[in-house]
Structure 1
């Protein structure tokens, strides 16, 4: 039977409703309340301080999606649903909460306006993303947790798939809470590290590094990668989920500043999603729509586009190392 071309359109339309139900489950913490056993809709509503009939309607949708199931006592959480509990291994609650955050959701909904003007509607309404996060600490906590959890697969992957043998000093530029750097240092005891980021971020990064038992091997430095001569010296620089936040001109500034700080034998590992050069389906294309909506001129890039950026920055693309979770390490060396 030939597929109805309209099916794909309707699936996208109804997908918004399904996500809204999932966002409700994450925000009201259904999984944590249901973890210890089934509850009726009324009981769950009482625990969430929510409207009982509305909770019952959302539970029906979630049951159809496979995140809860109905039982004689009411509803119980499924294995998939447990991924929306904060303390579950591989928890995705912060990812759902971030996309459902009011400003984020609003920015995605205004993508047509962004495309028409070429200026992010999110930025027009709320200012730059990182400025917004600085002014909204609750959203910043969700964002930081999401970035940490998102990075775990390719943080471990980078430590396992890239050879850090002989590297004395790794500088994680814009490294957030240091999740990638700690994975690298844990796997390579002879290597020392530097976490380099803004003053808003460094305190939580310092705590995470101390908690990992790596404070004696890792220095935390406050700074801005747009400031020439401000980047610490190192043998290998990690740029993870950084370059995709910036347009080509700003990306060249960042890369050029690192190029000026590194030795002739140094390397930069740009950890990002690398899009195919053709129009093949790829999860990174979804990410690119988010970058367009929220940042505007930030973007995911193809291998060819990375090669062009590097050449403008006095660097050469040496190799691309495939990592888990759709990420890659674009390895750059000085020309």
Structure 2
């Protein structure tokens, strides 16, 4: 563990470094530098920036290894910085832009007020996250890109490390653009899928599944999981769903799933199972975002999942660690 001075001063520096990183992502600097170095004036003109201000950001980006000086007030992109290009596999550009989006940035900065009050300052200003996204299509698309990028290594871990029933129907509850469902169906060619999500999301899910050649094996329906979920599934996947809600609302979702599932079915919760010790863990970082953005949103420990599932008539049967800090919690009817 670093000593306390290193930890505290490092955290202060992280704010400044992230702001420079966000500027790089928002202005598309990596895309502009993708084909070779540019001097600061030319780069500023291409991305619509104030050259003297941009020069100071480039100096910070060079200090963390994302760009490098190329002589005559010019900068070149490094291999590390290439991860912010929008046209490369596993690009992190959308993820950085989403975390720096106005509402997210406000939410984290107002965390002290949230903790004092017990209610999210974000919700007070912007409403529930998904209402905010529905009202702002550009932000919604950016959020979808962020969730897709975040899900890639986790989804690959799910397909490799979990054994699905060969001929099951999987219902992906709040399945977003359908990338998780597509990955599972490709890995399990005899399975079928149903994706449920809100009306403003499902068209993009249909496009994804059609592009993946899965339109004949996957149905997409719009709906509200607080009202009901599609019946007759053998596997119900809740990926990054329950942590958005407090125990009362999460229990409503689980009860709807329990009522809809086939006998002998199973529920898979793809989130984070918090450790019981005080060691650093990605889930504890994510929990600060849940606290800031949602009223009642929370990451949960194994015992907390077990108690919640028990109230819905389900038993926690195992937890599979998928890598990248993610866990798969499996539950079956009691």
Q: Which residue of 2 aligns with 1:123?
A: 123
CA, structure 1 residues 3+290, in 2 after alignment: closer, same or farther (shift >3 Å)?
closer
Pair 1:176 & 2:168 matched: no
Question: Residue in 2 aligned with 1:140?
Answer: 140
**Residue 261 of structure 1 pairs with residue 263 of structure 2:** no
Partner of 1:317: 316
Q: Which runs of 4+ in 1 moved over 4 A?
A: none
TM-score by length of 1: 0.97
Contact 1:84/1:93, CA 8 A, preserved across alignment = yes
* Compared CA separation, residues 46 and 254, structure 1 to 2 (3 A): same
On the 8 A contact 1:167/1:236 being kept in 2, the answer is no
Verify the 8 A CA contact 1:223 1:231 in the aligned structure 2.
no
How many pairs were matched up? 333
- Superposed CA deviations along residues 96-119 of structure 1, whole A, max 9, x for unmatched, are 000111111011100000000000
Give the conservation status (yes or no) of the 8 Å contact 1:247–1:299.
yes
Q: Tell me the equivalent position of 2:11.
A: 12
Q: How does 1:197-276 map to 2 (within 5 A)?
A: 197-228=197-228, 230-276=229-275
Aligned residue for 2:47? 48
Query: Hey, what's the Cα distance between the residues in 2 that align with 1:332 and 1:4?
Result: 41
Cross-structure match for 2:296: 297
The DSSP-based 3-state class of the residue aligned with 2:147 is helix
Instruction: Describe the SS at the equivalent of 2:216.
Output: helix
SS class of match (1:215): coil
Distance 2:292 2:168 in 1: 40
Cα distance per residue 1:202-234 (max 9 Å; x no partner): 000000000000000000011111114x43321
Structure 2's unaligned 5+ residue stretches are none
Deviates more, 1:157-166 or 1:204-213: 157-166
d(CA) in 1 for partners of 2:161, 2:3: 43
Which whole-Å CA distance do the structure 1 matches of 2:160 and 2:61 have between them? 37
Provide the C-alpha distance between the structure 1 equivalents of 2:197 and 2:85, rounded to a whole number of angstroms: 29
Residue aligning to 1:28: 27
Q: Counterpart in 2 of 1:334?
A: 333
Return the alpha-carbon distance in structure 2 between the equivalents of residues 232 and 55 of structure 1: 55
Aligned residues of 1:98 and 1:104 also touching (Cα < 8 A): yes
In 2, Cα distance between equivalents of 1:78 and 1:125? 39
Give runs of aligned pairs for residues 14-163 of structure 1, distance below 5 A. 14-72=13-71, 74-163=74-163
Corresponding residue for 2:307? 308
Q: CA deviation at 1:166?
A: 2.6
Q: Shift in Å at residue 3 of structure 1? A: 6.9
Query: For 1:306 and 1:79, how far apart are their aligned partners in 2?
Result: 41
